[in-house]
């Protein structure tokens, strides 16, 4: 009884601290008066938290605000997003993408490192080496931690990769393997789900509560953001856009079904159909393949035009199901295939209009991601920052 009574004011202060921090961060530039008014908090409470943030450089004061009214002008405060930094990485079978971000998950420094072999040992070694390298430049005491995006189905709570056909890994306690080597807070999640978080924090999804993120490359992925939350489903498997059947009785898919979207519009599938027209074997790599497709499209090569018309129609068909079911405001398309988004979008939009209920499609926006190839890394960093902010009890 005594204990809970004594802890009451501390809990209230912890909650207020997070509220004040979040509001100042969201507004980026504000004043103590504005924070107190918006949060309907006592001025002394706000002052004491702002003083705490100032003392630890989470905010910077920048002179009085210019106002029309007479009287004392409020001092402007700026959120200092570079006070702390986070690491976001995306693991693929051939390369690890890295980014270092500030507290808004804005990339400060990004790079990609080839992965020698797609084994857990090589991946852990490469990640450990990359972290060691970064800690030579950035101070560990201001590092929030590292977020990791991995393709496949996983248990984000235990950090176990249940199944990744892309990496060919099953039941790997990846977070445990990493934490045996790296002493930083870490968060593991599916790379496409993290990419949608990246869009929400630093991309086209900012300020959009309901949107869908789609990735078109060697595979087809999708993550659904509804009411500002990633829709996960019962076993974290929501968003399997690539396995919507768009060609009944079509080619056999890795999932065991026939005619899934992925079997006809993934880059390997596109290149397989165009193989007789492609002269070079180097077109197997996604970016090389896209360079060739884009060049052929520019010249009006009819097999490429014909195939892309079909690709656009099938994507539009699959997205119309998504639109009818979920009514997103925005669909963000990402991945190497979007190199030809200028050609594909009108075809996709036509299908969307033809196949979706008008109330769901009238205000729908279709857009190409501006974060390629970093959406997932940025989201991975955002994930670890979000986890840190949820338990923020002191500014140090
Ligand atoms: Zn399938």
Digitized pLDDT (tens) for each residue of the chain, 396 residues in all: 444 455 667 888 889 999 999 999 999 999 999 999 999 999 999 999 999 999 999 999 987 766 666 677 788 999 999 999 999 999 999 999 999 999 999 999 999 999 999 999 999 999 999 999 999 999 999 999 999 999 999 887 889 999 998 899 999 999 999 999 999 999 999 999 999 999 999 999 999 999 999 999 999 999 999 999 999 999 888 999 999 999 999 999 988 999 999 999 999 999 999 877 776 655 556 768 899 999 999 999 999 999 999 999 999 999 999 999 999 999 999 999 999 999 999 999 999 999 999 999 999 999 999 999 999 999 999 999 999 999 887 887
Spatial strand order of the sheet with 229-230 comes to 229-230, 220-226, 211-216, 330-334, 365-368
pLDDT score, position 94: 92
Q: Measure 251 CA to ligand 1 centroid, in angstroms.
A: 9
Tokens of 181: 């080597």
Q: Measure 290 CA to ligand 1 centroid, in angstroms.
A: 23
Q: Measure 252 CA to ligand 1 centroid, in angstroms.
A: 8
Angle (CA) 305-310-315 rounded to 5° is: 125
The DSSP symbol for 121 reads H
Q: Measure 249 CA to ligand 1 centroid, in angstroms.
A: 12
* CB 19 within 8 Å of CB 34: no
β-pairing, 29-31 vs 186-190, is: unpaired
Q: Which domains does the chain have, with CATH numbers?
A: 2-79 (1.10.10.10), 83-197+376-390 (3.30.420.40), 205-370 (3.30.420.40)
* CB 381 within 8 Å of CB 85: no
Q: Measure 274 CA to ligand 1 centroid, in angstroms.
A: 21
Dihedral sign from CA coordinates of 369, 373, 376, 378: negative
Q: Measure 90 CA to ligand 1 centroid, in angstroms.
A: 23
Name 189's Cβ contacts closer than 8 Å, sequence gap at least 6.
147, 148, 149, 150, 154, 156, 380, 383
Residue 367 to residue 344: CA distance in whole angstroms: 11
Q: Strand, helix or coil at 246? A: coil
The alpha carbon of residue 314 and the mean position of all alpha carbons in its chain are separated, in whole angstroms, by 25
Q: Residue holding tokens 């925005």?
A: 330
The DSSP symbol for 234 reads T
Of 211, 201, 236, whose CA–CA distance to 385 is shortest? Answer: 201
Query: What is each CA distance from 391 to 11, 32, 46, in whole angstroms?
Result: 12, 23, 19
Q: Measure 287 CA to ligand 1 centroid, in angstroms.
A: 24
Of 272, 274, 250, 270, whose CA–CA distance to 260 is shortest? Answer: 250
Of 205, 217, 100, whose CA–CA distance to 151 is shortest? Answer: 217
Residue 230 to residue 104: CA distance in whole angstroms: 18
pLDDT score, position 72: 74
Q: Measure 256 CA to ligand 1 centroid, in angstroms.
A: 6
């Amino acid at each position: 009884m005594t204990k809970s009574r004594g802890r009451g004011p501390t809990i209230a202060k912890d909650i207020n601290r997070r509220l004040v921090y979040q509001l100042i961060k969201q507004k980026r530039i504000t004043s103590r008066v504005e924070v107190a008014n918006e949060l309907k908090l006592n001025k002394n409470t706000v002052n004491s938290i702002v003083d705490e943030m100032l003392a630890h450089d989470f905010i910077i004061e920048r002179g009085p605000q210019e106002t029309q009214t007479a009287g004392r002008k409020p001092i402007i405060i700026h959120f200092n997003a570079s006070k702390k930094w986070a690491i976001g990485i995306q693991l693929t079978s051939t390369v690890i993408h890295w980014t270092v971000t500030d507290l808004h998950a804005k990339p400060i420094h990004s790079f990609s490192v080839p992965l020698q072999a797609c084994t857990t040992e090589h991946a852990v070694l490469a990640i450990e080496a990359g972290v060691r390298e970064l800690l030579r430049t950035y101070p560990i005491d201001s590092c929030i931690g590292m977020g990791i995006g991995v393709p496949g189905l996983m248990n984000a709570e235990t950090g176990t990769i249940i199944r990744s056909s892309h990496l060919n890994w099953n039941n790997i306690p990846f977070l445990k393997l990493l934490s045996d080597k790296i002493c930083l807070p870490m968060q593991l999640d599916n790379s496409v789900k993290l990419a949608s978080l990246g869009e929400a924090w630093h991309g086209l999804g900012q300020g959009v509560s309901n949107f869908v993120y789609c990735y078109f490359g060697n595979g087809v992925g999708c993550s659904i953001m509804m009411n500002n939350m990633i829709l996960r489903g019962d076993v974290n498997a929501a968003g399997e856009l690539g396995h919507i059947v768009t060609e009944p009785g079509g080619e056999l898919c890795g999932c065991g079904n026939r005619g899934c979207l992925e079997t006809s519009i993934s880059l390997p599938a596109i290149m397989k159909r165009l193989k007789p027209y492609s002269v070079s074997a180097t077109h197997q790599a996604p970016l090389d393949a896209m360079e060739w497709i884009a060049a052929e499209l520019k010249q009006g090569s009819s097999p490429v035009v014909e195939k892309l018309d079909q690709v656009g129609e099938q994507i539009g068909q699959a997205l119309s199901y998504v639109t009818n079911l979920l009514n997103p405001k925005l669909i963000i398309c990402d991945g190497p295939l979007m190199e030809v988004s200028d050609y594909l979008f009108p075809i996709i939009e036509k299908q969307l209009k033809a196949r979706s209920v008008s109330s769901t499609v009238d205000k729908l926006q279709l857009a190409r991601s501006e974060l390629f190839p970093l959406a997932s890394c940025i989201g991975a960093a955002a994930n670890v920052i979000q986890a840190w902010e949820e338990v923020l009890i002191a500014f140090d």
